[in-house]
Structure 1
Amino acid sequence: MSRYVIPLFCLFLLVMQGMAMSLLPAKLVYSDLLITPHWILIFLFIIAIFYDKDHTYHAVWYGLVFGLLIDVVYTGVLGVYMITYTLIIYVVHGLKKLVHANFPAAFLLAVIGLILADALLYIVYSFVQITSISWVDYGLLRLLPTLAANMIFFTLLYPLVKERAYDWSEEISNV
């Protein structure tokens, strides 16, 4: 069952990411703040923590595929999200071995992963001269609002997905 549900939910999140800004109040959308929804990444963090075992890397593969889809659908530079999502999910998958799988640890891993992913995206886009804002402006106007918005999404998604991800993991182990 999880073989179908996880990619379908990622596909749903891919579509919803494009509509996320229209869900926010106009005062926030038209301000100086730049909020980037990383909903697929947040979902895949939960999958990496609660679904994947130490020797399986399903979330990494989903990050590769859906990162490429984000590149194709939403960006003009192919491979940036694909490589970033894959690398950061792999890092989170490795870091989960150091902490217990509970809400505070998952929240911390999501914060670390999200900061790393967004900073890496900023560095790549700065390098290819797509963005030219300073580090201070990036931190205050993009990173902090993006982190806050995505962690609110994590907090809402976590109780809905955590137990299911763990059950799907057990289902795969018993096959």
Structure 2
Amino acid sequence: MTTIPARDFSLAVSMSDFVVWLGDGDNDFSENEALRAVLKGLGITVDLRVLHATYFHSTLVGNGDVYVYRSDKNSKNVFAIDLYRDLTDQMDIVSFAVGCDEHCLSVVRSNLRKFFDEASCQVHYEEASYSSRLRHMIDPTTYPVIIEESGYVQQMHDLHV
């Protein structure tokens, strides 16, 4: 029997888990090391501190777009995050998805699991050989999306880094 490896991941955690606080100052934080290792394994450059600041300082409640990061246009390695801020969410929950090729699968899987297991707010963790959530997030034909609760018109930003 042949097994098909899970190469797609879908998670939901608090945005505050993307960083680790080092002190009491507004900028006394660093990137979560496990999530940083995932991005490094994917060959994708994303500043998690900037994502954190974008979410908390530049995204109004009832707003927020989807950001898709790839190392190049045709890469299977992808990191997609939905920064929509739900009107009633008091835990700052964000969902994100990762797709990877076989070369980085072990690094991605182990570090995503570590990240989720250490998260302060563990909402969702999924591994699959095909994730409809990931495919929906990265499909440009599904945007713009009107978020019913707020009327916000969500856009996708496809970034090749």
Q: With the length of structure 1 as denominator, give the TM-score of the two structures.
A: 0.31
Higher helix share: 1
Structure whose residues are more often strand by fraction: 2
Ranked by relative contact order (alpha carbons within 8 Å, sequence separation 6 or more), the top structure is 2
TM-score, structure 2 normalization: 0.33
